[in-house]
Copies of this chain bind each other. A is one copy, B any other.
C-alpha cells in the first residue's frame, strides 16, 4: 500500500460506486509517418466525449523512465507500491490458473522446450505445442517425487506450465534455467542466498527426473523454469480502502493479481463483451469494480499499429455500456503504455480520466497522450489513482484539523 499511514483513518464506506476500466497497454507514441499516436489516430467519439466532462491527466506507472511489467503496473493502479511489493512471474502464473497457492509456497513459470542430442536448446517454447499436447506431459511430470517437498505441475496454456513447491523453509531466491537463447544448454538452478540451497537442490532433482521422463517425447523433451517466487504479503484492498471490491478480467494473470490484493474475482467469459455482461449482472453486489481490457496491449506488443488503433476503437464503442450503469465514478486508465512502434511495454505516462459528479471537464477535449497532459490531474504517480477515485466518490474524509 502507498506510504500513507493515516489512510485507515480517512477512508469511509459509502454507497457510491466506482468502476475502474484498465485498458492494458493504453498509451502509445506517435507513428513516424503521421506524427500521431494510436490514441490520436483512432476515432474515439465516446472517450473524447468522456474527456470533455472528466478530470484528466496522465499516470506514471512506476517512476519516470522505468518500463513496468503488467504485474507491478497493476499493483500501482490498485495503490500498492510495486517497488516494495514485488510479485514474481511464477506467482502470477499460478494465481492466473486458480492454483491453490499458500504462503511460503514457491512457484515457477515453466516452459516445455526441445533439446538436440547434445543437450542444446533447439526451441525454447517447444514449437508452441498446443495445450492438448502439453497437458498429458504435465500430468506425467506431476508424478515426480522429491524428498521433503510437495510438488505440483499444472498446465497453463500451450507450452507453459507452473511448478509449485510446498514444504518447510523453501525460498524463492533462485536463478532460472532458461539461457534465453537456443544452441545453449539449460542452466542449473543456483541458490541466490544461503537459505535457498535446499530449494535449489529440490528443483534440480525435479529437473533431472523431468528430463528422464521426457526423453522419449519428440515435441518437448525438456523443461525450462524461471520466475521462482512466493506470495507477497499484501494488505487487502477491501480493508485498506473500506471497499467491497470485485475484479472482472478474462485473462488469467489479471485475475490472479486481483486475488492477491483481496478482490472478489467474478468468473466471466473470454471477451470484453462477456466482461461487460458480468459487470452489469453483478453491479449491485460491490462498490468497486476493476474491469480489464486486453486487446490494445496485445496489438501493441505485436507491433501492429493499425490493430492497436482498431482495438482502441472497439473499446470506445463499448464505453456507453459502462455509462449505462451510471457509476458515481468512472475511471479510464491504462496499466502502462505499449507503443506499437516499440512492439513492447514502455515507460511513457498513460492517459487517464476520472468522471464524477464533481468533474465538469477541464478544457481537455480528447482522450490521448497530448490532450491529457494538459488535464487538471496533471502527471502523477499511478499509485495515487485509487486515492483520487475514492476522493471523487466521496469515500475519503479530511486528513488532520
Contacts and interface: CB of A to CB of B under 8 A. Distances in A.
Interface of A: 2-6, 10, 29-30, 32, 35, 58, 60, 62-73, 82-83, 86-89, 92, 109, 227, 341-342, 344-349, 358, 360-363, 369-370, 373-381, 384-391, 396-401
A48 to B, nearest CB: 17
B378 A358 contact: no
Contact of A378 (B4, B5, B86, B349): B349
Nearest to A226: B401
Given A227-B401, A358-B29, A384 B64 contact: yes
Nearest to A339: B358
Contacts of A72: 399-400
A363 to B, nearest CB: 6
B369 A373 contact: no
Contact of A401 (B88, B344, B385): B88
B32 A384 contact: no
Contacts of A67: 391, 396-399
A385 B66 CA distance: 11
A261 B398 CA distance: 22
Contacts of A344: 398
Contact of A400 (B87, B109, B378): B87
Contacts of A374: 373-374
A373 B376 contact: yes
15 contacts: A3-B83, A10-B66, A29-B360, A32-B360, A35-B360, A64-B380, A64-B384, A66-B391, A67-B398, A69-B400, A72-B399, A345-B398, A347-B387, A349-B378, A373-B378
